Amino acid sequence: MKNFFKLSALSLVISLVACSEVPETASNSVEAVDKTPIKELSATVKIEAGKDYHSYANPEEILITHLNLDLTADFEAKKLIGSVQVTVDRQQDDANELVLDTRDLAISSVTSNGEEIVFELKPADENLGAALHIILPENANKATINYETSPSASGAQWLTPAQTAGKKHPFLFTQAQAVHARSFIPLQDSPQVRVTYSATIRTPKELIAVMSASNEPDTERDGVYKFDMPQPIPSYLIALAIGDLQFKSMGERTGVYAEPSVLASAAAEFEDTESMLIATENKYGPYSWDRYDLLILPPSFPFGGMENPRLSFITPTVIAGDKSLVALIAHELAHSWSGNTVTNATWRDLWLNEGFTTYLTYRIMEMIYGEGRFNMEAVLGYQDLQSDIKSLDANDQILAIDLRGRNPDDVFSNIPYEKGALFLREIEHKIGRENFDQFLVEYFEHFSFKSITTDQFITYLDETLLTQYADKLDKKRITEWIFEPGIPEGAPVPESDAFVKVDSARDLWLAGGTKASDIETADWAFHQWLYFLNNMPEKLNAEQLAELDSAFLLTSSKNNEIAHSWLMIAVKNEYKPAYERLYDYLTSIGRNKLVKPLYRELSKTPQGKAFAKKAFDQAKSGYHPLTVSANEGYVQ
């Protein structure tokens, strides 16, 4: 057995924990970390499929099956304070040492059957946090950890009233994927471990709590909210938000939670959610999660969306007024099948979540809005992929990526998304759409409520499509897609008729053959505008920029994606009339995908960097921890 604190030393742990906000090294003096640095291993040691290099937990010995949370949200202190009771299932009869993941948690005590038991918090690793070791009494199958979170928890953002739409009440939301659940709950933070959970959340009376669980839209505002998630989910899907929220139904199984001033516009923008749910279910098999609601977050939400089961978390930056950005909803909904029902076993396998989901997103968009939109979105996605392939190291272009020693947040790219989807599209083209759809239905059914590795996927392909369609598919090609960088030669290349005229118009204008204001744009869809801007040459001159801006009012575009594209052009060409808008954009939006490319581009010149620093310094206190860490390097 390892070198644990004797019970007499427990009070020392408690006092150390109590006086420190970041107590991860509380037990430094007792035992040194015994893990060889993963960075050194990765160069020489073969990666083990299915091994979670981003968790200290020991589910193969003792598995957590249920969590019971009791947490109070203290908005003054910016802390969640309370307890989690874990129910365990011993996988090995003699196993008594339970290892959990934590990050920046203050653990005050651990009890089992009402008695305090021994625990030890190991020194923290920058990416992984600190392992919490607990000795369970023999025969005990429950332990309760009393703890509080840090105000700077990487997986929670505490917003002041000024950072919300209503400006009157504070707001809290969590974002657990990939490895941040451990910063607000001590647990086995690995996508291989599925738990059911129940929760009691205590809030100021005027606020409402919602979770990735059973929510009650008509609940009384009494400051105590109870939840149940009866289906087993991986830890990265545990989610909580607290704010001045209201609910509006959008259909039998769909609705939206948002701050009052955002509710109506969100419900209108996303009114097709119910049809998307029905169409996806008809195509890919039953929806397993009962309700599908959306939660609209304040603009600092660092992602476009997060597929928290039963309640996707959504950025308000996609409420464009014309449904032009609702592919995001199709995407988060699609995760109900690919991701939440069939889950990646490790972060190396993320492409199984995101690639399948991106493939499904395109298909859902086609079912709801037609082939024209499908083609345009496929071309735009393909262009995003190509630009990443140009800029990423070869290793980061591999679907089954080696993330040992790295923080999964640092490796976010279009590869798992668009390359994953293109791979599946190639299979679809080779064996026929209906056959591939049939395969997907069976795949979701076969692995339902399981976490799977890339290797398990390949074995399954071997047993199914590679046998059934031996004349059309080839194993070597499959492994090239999954294990080699780049896009395999001969891969499908998406095309859209609707972009042909956009290319002609752009070419003619660039050649001086027409004025911008004479281009026939009255019937252009959002996607055509985006394509028009995204494919401008790197350098435009001041007259050209001014002409585009005055013809199309780009600087004042209310569509956040169009504005993003235009501001990228403005930065690349130092088009100063757009800089006030740029400043406003950077300081009012925290969605990393929209701000990071701008910071990166600005950081390339000294003046740009100074401007970026000014915006960043002002925005920083309102950015989510992920957005801060993703961008601070550009302004230093």
> How far is the C-alpha of 174 from the C-alpha of 71, rounded, in Å?
13
Query: 101, 148, 259, 307: which one contacts ligand BES (CB under 6 A)?
Result: 307
Residue 303: contacted member of Zn ion, ligand BES, none (CB under 5 to 8 Å, by partner type): ligand BES
Q: Which has the closest alpha carbon to 172: 185, 182, 161, 157?
A: 157
Q: Which has the closest alpha carbon to 34: 12, 5, 3, 13?
A: 3
Count, residues near ligand BES per rule CB under 6 A = 14
Q: CB-based contacts of 43: which residues, under 8 Å, 6+ apart?
A: none
Name residues contacting ligand BES, limited to 341-360 (CB under 6 A): 354
Query: 5, 227, 270, 303: which one contacts ligand BES (CB under 6 A)?
Result: 303
Residue 52: contacted member of Zn ion, ligand BES, none (CB under 5 to 8 Å, by partner type): none
CB of 308 to Zn ion, least distance (A): 11
Cβ proximity of 268 and 377 under 8 Å? no
**Alpha carbon of 386 to those of 187, 195, 383, 390, 487: distances in Å?**
38, 38, 5, 6, 9
Question: What is the residue type of 595?
Answer: V
CB of 562 to Zn ion, least distance (A): 22
Residue 328: contacted member of ligand BES, Zn ion, none (CB under 5 to 8 Å, by partner type): ligand BES
Q: Token match 């840090």: residue? A: 150
Cβ proximity of 380 and 527 under 8 Å? yes
In terms of Cβ atoms closer than 10 Å to its own Cβ (0-12, 13-18, 19+), residue 373 is buried
> How far is the C-alpha of 73 from the C-alpha of 71, rounded, in Å?
6
**Residue ranges in contact with Zn ion by CB under 5 A:** 354, 357
Query: 82, 170, 255, 305: which one contacts ligand BES (CB under 6 A)?
Result: 305
Residue 64: contacted member of Zn ion, ligand BES, none (CB under 5 to 8 Å, by partner type): none
Q: Token pair for residue 134?
A: 């607990």
In the chain, DSSP finds a helix count (H) and a strand count (E) of 20, 21
CB of 160 to ligand BES, least distance (A): 24
Nearer to ligand BES, 217 or 597 (CB): 597
Residue 306: contacted member of Zn ion, ligand BES, none (CB under 5 to 8 Å, by partner type): ligand BES
Name residues contacting ligand BES, limited to 585-624 (CB under 6 A): 593
Helix (H, G, I), strand (E, B) or coil at 602: helix
Residue 417: contacted member of Zn ion, ligand BES, none (CB under 5 to 8 Å, by partner type): ligand BES
Residue 304: contacted member of Zn ion, ligand BES, none (CB under 5 to 8 Å, by partner type): ligand BES
Cα 416 versus chain centre, distance: 12
CB of 348 to ligand BES, least distance (A): 13
Residue 233: contacted member of Zn ion, ligand BES, none (CB under 5 to 8 Å, by partner type): none
Determine, following the binding rule CB under 6 A, whether residue 564 of this chain makes contact with ligand BES: no
In terms of Cβ atoms closer than 10 Å to its own Cβ (0-12, 13-18, 19+), residue 49 is middle
Q: Token pair for residue 197?
A: 């959970």
Active site residues: 332, 417
Phi, psi of 109 (to 5 degrees): -165, 160
* Contact range with ligand BES by CB under 6 A, out of 303-311, 447-455, 514-522, 578-586: 303-311
CB of 334 to Zn ion, least distance (A): 8
Nearer to Zn ion, 341 or 357 (CB): 357
CB of 307 to ligand BES, least distance (A): 5
In terms of Cβ atoms closer than 10 Å to its own Cβ (0-12, 13-18, 19+), residue 312 is buried
CB of 351 to ligand BES, least distance (A): 11
Query: 103, 169, 323, 331: which one contacts ligand BES (CB under 6 A)?
Result: 331
> How far is the C-alpha of 612 from the C-alpha of 249, rounded, in Å?
41
* Contact range with ligand BES by CB under 6 A, out of 256-264, 304-312, 508-516, 540-548: 304-312
> How far is the C-alpha of 350 from the C-alpha of 454, rounded, in Å?
9
Site string for ligand BES, 380-419 (x = CB under 6 A): -------------------------------------x--
Kindly give the pairing relationship between strand 311-314 and strand 292-296: parallel
Query: 328, 385, 403, 519: which one contacts ligand BES (CB under 6 A)?
Result: 328
CB of 412 to Zn ion, least distance (A): 11
Q: Token pair for residue 93?
A: 């009869």
CB of 305 to Zn ion, least distance (A): 7
Query: 17, 135, 143, 178: which one contacts ligand BES (CB under 6 A)?
Result: 178
At residue 633's C-alpha, the angle toward residues 630 and 636, to 5°, is: 145
Name residues contacting ligand BES, limited to 240-299 (CB under 6 A): none
Nearer to Zn ion, 182 or 331 (CB): 331
Nearer to Zn ion, 357 or 573 (CB): 357
Q: Which has the closest alpha carbon to 515: 548, 556, 555?
A: 548
Residue 178: contacted member of Zn ion, ligand BES, none (CB under 5 to 8 Å, by partner type): ligand BES
Question: What is the residue type of 87?
Answer: T
Q: Which has the closest alpha carbon to 177: 335, 7, 65?
A: 335
Nearer to ligand BES, 177 or 397 (CB): 177
* Contact range with ligand BES by CB under 6 A, out of 267-275, 328-336, 550-558, 617-625: 328-336
Residue 419 DSSP code:
I
Q: Which has the closest alpha carbon to 361: 326, 334, 324, 323?
A: 334
Binding site for ligand BES (CB under 6 A): 177-178, 303-307, 328, 331-332, 335, 354, 417, 593
